[in-house]
C-alpha cells in the first residue's frame, strides 16, 4: 500500500511487484481478491502492477483485462501496469516517472504516478490527513508501516 502526494495530485494504491516467478493465472486470482476487497469496503483503490520486462507486461495485461472483465464491478478495481525496462537502469524502480499505463486506457499513453487519477474519473481523492496525532487516512490511531526501501537492485 502506498500514498503519494505532489503539487500535481495525490493517489493511494496497492502495488504488485512481479518478478515473473508466478504464473499469470495467479495474477488473475489477485484481481478477484482486489474486487472482493473493494466490494466489502466500498473503496476503490488502484492496483499497480510492476513487471520486469515489457514482454511480461504485455502478456499480463491481456490476462488482467480478462480477469477484470469477469468482475461484477470492474470499475471498482482500477489497474495500471509498468515494466522496469521502460526506464533507464538507474530509474527502473522509480514509480513517479510517466510509466504507468491504465488497463482501460484507449489513448493518452503512459502517465506519471501523480496523474493516474485522470484515467479513473470516478476515483475519489484520498481522505486528507488533518494533522491530529494518531489520525490517518487509514483511521484514528492507525499508522502506516515505516518505509522499507529496496535492499538491492534487481533488473
Per-residue model confidence (pLDDT) at position 10:
84
What is the reported pLDDT for 72? Answer: 94
pTM of the model: 0.80
Q: Which value, to the nearest 10 degrees, does the dihedral of the CA atoms of residues 116, 122, 125, 127 take?
A: -140
What are the structural domain ranges in the chain? 2-140
Length of the chain: 155
Q: What is the mean pLDDT of the segment spanning 132-149?
A: 52
Mean pLDDT of 42-64: 95
Q: Is the pLDDT of residue 143 over 60?
A: no
- DSSP letters along 7-55, please? TTEEEEEEEEE--S-S-HHHHHHHHHHHHHHHHHHT----EEEEESSHH
Return d(Cα 45, Cα 14) in angstroms, integer: 7
**What's the pLDDT score for residue 74?**
94
pLDDT tens digits, 76-86? 999 999 999 99
Angle, CA of 65, 80 and 19, to the nearest 5°: 90
In the predicted structure, residue 24 carries a pLDDT above the cut 90 = yes
Amino acid at each position: 500500500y502506498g500514498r503519494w502526494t505532489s503539487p500535481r495530485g495525490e493517489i493511494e494504491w496497492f502495488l504488485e511487484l512481479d518478478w515473473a516467478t508466478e504464473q499469470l493465472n495467479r495474477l488473475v486470482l489477485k484481481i478477484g481478491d482486489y474486487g472482493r476487497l473493494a466490494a466489502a469496503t466500498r473503496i476503490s483503490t488502484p492496483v499497480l502492477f510492476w513487471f520486469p520486462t515489457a514482454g511480461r507486461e504485455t502478456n499480463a495485461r491481456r490476462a488482467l483485462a480478462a480477469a477484470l472483465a469477469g468482475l461484477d464491478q470492474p470499475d471498482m478495481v482500477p489497474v495500471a501496469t509498468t515494466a522496469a525496462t521502460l526506464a533507464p537502469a538507474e530509474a527502473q524502480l522509480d514509480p513517479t516517472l510517466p510509466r504507468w499505463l491504465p488497463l482501460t486506457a484507449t489513448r493518452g499513453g503512459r502517465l506519471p504516478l501523480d496523474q493516474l487519477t485522470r484515467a479513473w474519473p470516478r476515483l475519489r481523492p484520498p481522505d486528507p490527513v488533518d494533522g491530529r496525532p494518531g489520525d490517518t487516512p487509514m483511521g484514528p490511531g492507525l499508522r502506516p508501516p515505516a518505509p522499507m526501501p529496496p535492499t538491492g537492485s534487481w533488473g
